[in-house]
């Protein structure tokens, strides 16, 4: 059995329970608390696989027996709560039964030389999480969120990212002027003009800019770009979902880099 002591909490008014409820249900509570709530077995194991050490693991009474002999919990504080209380905390329709509380590291400065993805006011949490997964999969190591983008560590983005967060350096609240520090060329996506992706010589490393779901990349950012790229759509659709477009573009960069 894990060597960590187990604490039982049964009151919904307990200070820890209140904090967890805020982290699970409030999009930006992590900014005030300096920690995030990772809910679910898959996300928690993804964190452990990346050598992320949570400050605390919280289990529902019914889920705790599945983990109580896991060596990964050694030296981690364990809290067990009634199933009904875990359901009250959870932001999910079907509560996962477990979660980790992780103290976030200090904010990292922008890395000028890193292969980067820039989110220009991308607001849907599912899209942002999908883009983070693609960034991690195809060799990008930095994601910059321009002001107006979805909160990168929000519960919905964390779930959609499925562990990609732990492989990336994430910088929020970036301004267009901050991008001047980048030493890699900006490449912007466009549905109306520019070079076709399958014909373009893509630079590496670079910074791909993915734009707002409805408005696309801001004109002021387009004017900064070294390259404008569009994706051929022989089927005739007007545009692609930004998450799908990002997957296609980032894969093309990764493939060209390894060719």
Q: What is the pLDDT of residues 225-259, one digit of tens each?
A: 999 999 988 887 767 899 999 999 999 998 887 66
What is the topology classification, in CATH, of domain 116-258? Alpha/beta knot (3.40.1280)
The domains of the chain are located at: 6-103, 116-258
Q: Taking Cα atoms as reference points, which of 148, 102, 149, 91 lies closest to residue 125?
A: 149
Q: What is the pLDDT of residues 43-102, one digit of tens each?
A: 999 999 999 999 999 999 999 999 988 888 887 899 999 999 999 999 788 889 999 999
Q: Place domain 6-103 in its CATH homologous superfamily.
A: Ribosomal protein L30/S12 (3.30.1330.30)
Examine the pLDDT at 153 and tell me if it is beyond 90.
yes
Q: If you average pLDDT over residues 102-124, what whole number do you get?
A: 95
> For residue 106, what pLDDT is reported?
87
Q: What angle do CA 121, 215, 213 make, to 5 degrees?
A: 60
Kindly report the average pLDDT of the chain as a whole number. Answer: 93
């Amino acid at each position: 059995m894990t060597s960590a002591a187990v604490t039982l909490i049964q009151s919904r008014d307990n200070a820890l329970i209140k904090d967890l409820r805020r982290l699970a249900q409030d999009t930006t509570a992590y900014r005030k608390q300096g920690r995030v709530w990772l809910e679910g077995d898959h996300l928690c194991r993804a964190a452990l696989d990346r050598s992320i050490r949570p400050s605390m693991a919280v289990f529902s009474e019914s889920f705790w027996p599945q983990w109580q002999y896991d060596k990964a919990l050694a030296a981690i504080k364990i809290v067990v709560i009634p199933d009904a209380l875990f359901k009250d905390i959870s932001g999910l329709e079907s509560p996962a039964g477990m979660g980790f509380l992780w103290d976030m590291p200090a904010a990292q400065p922008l890395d000028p030389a890193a292969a980067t993805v820039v989110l220009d006011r991308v607001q849907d949490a599912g899209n942002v999480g999908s883009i983070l997964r693609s960034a991690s999969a195809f060799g990008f190591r930095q994601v910059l969120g321009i002001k107006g983008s979805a909160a990168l560590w929000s519960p919905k983005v964390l779930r959609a990212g499925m562990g990609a967060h732990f492989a990336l350096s994430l910088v929020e609240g970036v301004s267009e002027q901050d991008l001047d520090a980048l030493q890699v060329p900006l490449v912007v996506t466009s549905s109306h003009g520019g070079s076709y992706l399958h014909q373009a010589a893509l630079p590496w490393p670079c910074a791909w800019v993915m734009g707002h779901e409805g408005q696309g990349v801001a004109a002021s950012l387009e004017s900064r770009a070294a390259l404008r790229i569009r994706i051929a759509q022989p089927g005739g659709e007007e545009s692609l979902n930004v998450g799908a477009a990002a997957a296609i573009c980032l894969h093309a960069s990764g493939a060209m880099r390894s060719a």
